[in-house]
Structure 1
Amino acid sequence: MRISTLAIYNQNISSMNRQQTEFMKISQQIASGKRIVNISDDPQAMTQAINIGQSKSVTGQFSEARVGVRNALSQEESVLNNVADMYSRAKTLLVQASSDTLSDADKTAVASELRGIYEALIGLGNTRDGNGRYLFGGHQDDSAPFVRDPSAGVVNYVGNLNVREQQVDGARLMPVGHSGDQIFRSVHSSAPYRAEVAMDNQGSLTYKGITITDSSAATFGQAFDIEFGEDASGQLQYRVNGGAWNDYNDPTVVELGGVAIELEGTPVAGDSLRLARGNDNNTDIFVAFEKALAVLENPADTASKQATQRNTLRTVMNELDNGLDNVLTVRAEVGARLNELDALDAIGGNRQLAYEQAYSDLVDLDYIEAAAQYSIRMVGLQAAQQAFVDMKGMSLFNFL
């Protein structure tokens, strides 16, 4: 069979091109460190690698989100620590102010320090985070959540009750902080009974201990309003929640539904007292400070004012205790979330390592195998070139 010179040339050129292509491919793999340079090299493996790469990116985004959440929660924990310290200091001052040995001037001095704590608490309630957003404003980021009303002399919460949330893992949407209402205007549902004597009482009625006598009583947990009056003979009386009148003697222990309160002093008709669980009375810590300041900054120059002062300070101390318990509960929640973030970081780190390994197995180059292939392809290319050189000399004209 006759083979034309053109056929010989075409066959050798095709062989060299094929060897050159294979050699260039392995060279690109070695240069890039990747087994798959083009999708056509291994479409199935490249598709899996793309999916794994997307999963790696999502995991990285969750990791970055956890950094932001951790910073916000750490700042909140620091603020709550300061709030707890201020509550404790305020309680110490009120214990001092409750002493009968202090003069009105001494109590005014205590009130001065107490007002400083009050102002500092308002500042803490309006703390901003690293992005300039109010830490306790909920979804409201552009204005202070706690605003003073000069005409009424009170602090109002105008922030949002909802809390921002951040996706920190595939199935975990974590709240970022708490609203100011949860921290400064709430108490835990388990807060104990406490009494609150009306500020406009005219008598010298005061209360002492509150004792739980039967927590299984049908009316235990309800609020009790004690009202004072007198009969036609002038005998002081009291009734509970608008019920029947009972004679009042100084002192006396009033038995209610599962709870008892010890009363002393002389009330007058129209005076009143409310006994309720902590979350049924005042839960606003700023109102508690305002009540304490009102009685400390004004002289207690009558028996009724002295009784009001003692009762108010005792009530405010109970409210501070409830507020501190609430702050500690919130701090525990913050701590639990920080611990959860640590656990999610560990899980996310392990997941990222698994993704990296799977991705590497699919696309990364085995340099030992590649080096061997490189040598083989080079030898093949050189052989094809040498064969072409040898074939060029195979002509009948050389033998004529």
Structure 2
Amino acid sequence: MRISTVSIYEQSMGSMNRQERDFLKVGQQIASGRRVVNPSDDPQAASRAVQVSQALAVIGQYADARVGGRNALSQEESILNGVSDAIASAKTLMVQAASDTLSDADRTSLASELRGIYETVIGQANATDGNGSYLFGGYRDGSEPFVRAADGSVSYVGDNNSRAVRIDASRLMPVADNGIAVFQSVTAGAGYVAEADAANGGSVTFKGPQVVDESDPGYGGAFGITFSVAGGVATYSVNGGPAQPYEEGRAIHFGGLSLTLEGSPADGDRIAMDRAQNMNTDLFRTFEKALAVLEQPAGTDTEKAARKNTLSTAMREFDNSLDNVLTTRASVGARLNELDVVDSVAGNQTLNYKQTLSDLVDLDYVEAIAEYSLRQVGLKAAQKAFVDIKGMTLFDRL
């Protein structure tokens, strides 16, 4: 069979082109460090690599969300630490102010110190996260959540939602607590609080209430002690029940509670008791009423009794608020710990995915360099063969 010169040239050029293409492909793999440079190199591996890369991207997005969540929670924990210290200081001042040895001037001095603590707590309640968003405003984080009215009282204008961040595919974590939960709530186990009626005209004061029997059928309900004075004889009734003789300094028992009364009541005086959740739960309101009685001199026995009762109630409310802040802080700490656990799990997932991606597309340099050398030899051989064949002609035999 006769082989034409054109056929020889075409075969030689095709061989050189194939060798050069294979040589350049290996060189591209070495330069990029990837075995799969184009999807056509290994379609199945390329497809799997896309899925793994997407999974890594999602993990990265959740990691960024966790960073933001951790910053917010860390800042909240720092603020709650300051609030708890402030409440503890306020309670210490209440204990000092309740002493009968202090003068009105001494209590005015304590009131000045307490007001400073009050202003500090308001500032902490209106703290921002550094980006201009208020931590305790819920979804309304563009303005101060606690505002002061013309009469000096503080009210909450945020909402009762808590901002949350999705830290992984199955967990939506709150990264900020709203102002109601922190500054206007108490824990479920806060117990009872007693408060004397502002219109009381006698000098009766109370200590307690103390829980003595939670199994009592009446435990958990609200109670009101009403005093009656007729003919110089004082009696009291609980929730409108039968009248009982009043004995100063003697503890009375009802509904699983114990309350000790001292002083002389006036006809119609009243003391109310209920679960703390149903009484005043506003920390700022507690500050306001404590300041009101400390800044106002008490001259009569009735005024002194009202001050003592108010301070007693304020101490109980400060205790409940402190417990609530500490509980919230513990919750924040638990969420920070959870973020650490999720970070650890995500780190292991990231390593596994990266290893899988490396197995799919990364290059074995030893094997690639050996193949590179082999392709180089093949290309040189094809070039040399073409040169030799090109020189073969019948005209050389003439």
Whether the TM-score (by the shorter chain) exceeds 0.5 is yes
Structure 1 counterpart of 2:248: 250
Structure 1 counterpart of 2:343: 345
Give 1:335 deviation, angstroms.
Answer: 0.4
**Cα distance in structure 2, aligned partners of 1:349 and 1:80:** 30
Q: Where does 1:314-353 land on structure 2 (aligned, <5 Å)?
A: 314-353=312-351
Structure 2 counterpart of 1:39: 39
Which amino acid is 1:360 matched to?
S
Q: Where does 1:106-121 land on structure 2 (aligned, <5 Å)?
A: 106-121=106-121
Give 1:253 deviation, angstroms.
Answer: 2.5
TM-score by length of 2: 0.97
Q: Where does 1:125-144 land on structure 2 (aligned, <5 Å)?
A: 125-144=125-144
**Cα distance in structure 2, aligned partners of 1:144 and 1:306:** 37
1:98 aligns to 2:98 (yes or no): yes
**Cα distance in structure 2, aligned partners of 1:252 and 1:125:** 42
Give 1:96 deviation, angstroms.
Answer: 0.9
Give 1:123 deviation, angstroms.
Answer: 0.8
**Cα distance in structure 2, aligned partners of 1:349 and 1:208:** 56
* Paired residue secondary structure (1:279): helix
TM-score by length of 1: 0.97
Which amino acid is 2:370 matched to?
A
Q: Where does 1:1-400 land on structure 2 (aligned, <5 Å)?
A: 1-151=1-151, 153-231=152-230, 233-400=231-398
**Cα distance in structure 1, aligned partners of 2:290 and 2:395:** 123
Deviation string, structure 1 residues 117-175 (Cα, Å, up to 9, x no partner): 11111111100111110010000011111011113x31111111101110111211110
Which blocks of at least 5 consecutive residues in structure 1 are unaligned? none
**Cα distance in structure 2, aligned partners of 1:182 and 1:209:** 26
Aligned length: 398
Deviation string, structure 1 residues 66-98 (Cα, Å, up to 9, x no partner): 111111111111111111111111111111111
**Cα distance in structure 1, aligned partners of 2:108 and 2:8:** 114
* Paired residue secondary structure (2:70): helix
**Cα distance in structure 1, aligned partners of 2:7 and 2:396:** 19
Deviation string, structure 1 residues 265-314 (Cα, Å, up to 9, x no partner): 11111211112222221111111111111111111100011111111111
**Cα distance in structure 2, aligned partners of 1:33 and 1:134:** 48
Give 1:47 deviation, angstroms.
Answer: 0.8
* Paired residue secondary structure (2:372): helix
Structure 1 runs of 4+ off > 6 angstroms? Answer: none
Which amino acid is 1:163 matched to?
S
**Cα distance in structure 2, aligned partners of 1:328 and 1:367:** 58
Superposition RMSD in Å: 1.3
Which amino acid is 2:347 matched to?
G
Give 1:356 deviation, angstroms.
Answer: 1.0
**Cα distance in structure 2, aligned partners of 1:339 and 1:87:** 26
Give 1:101 deviation, angstroms.
Answer: 0.8
Which amino acid is 1:378 matched to?
Q
Give 1:234 deviation, angstroms.
Answer: 4.7
* Paired residue secondary structure (2:278): coil
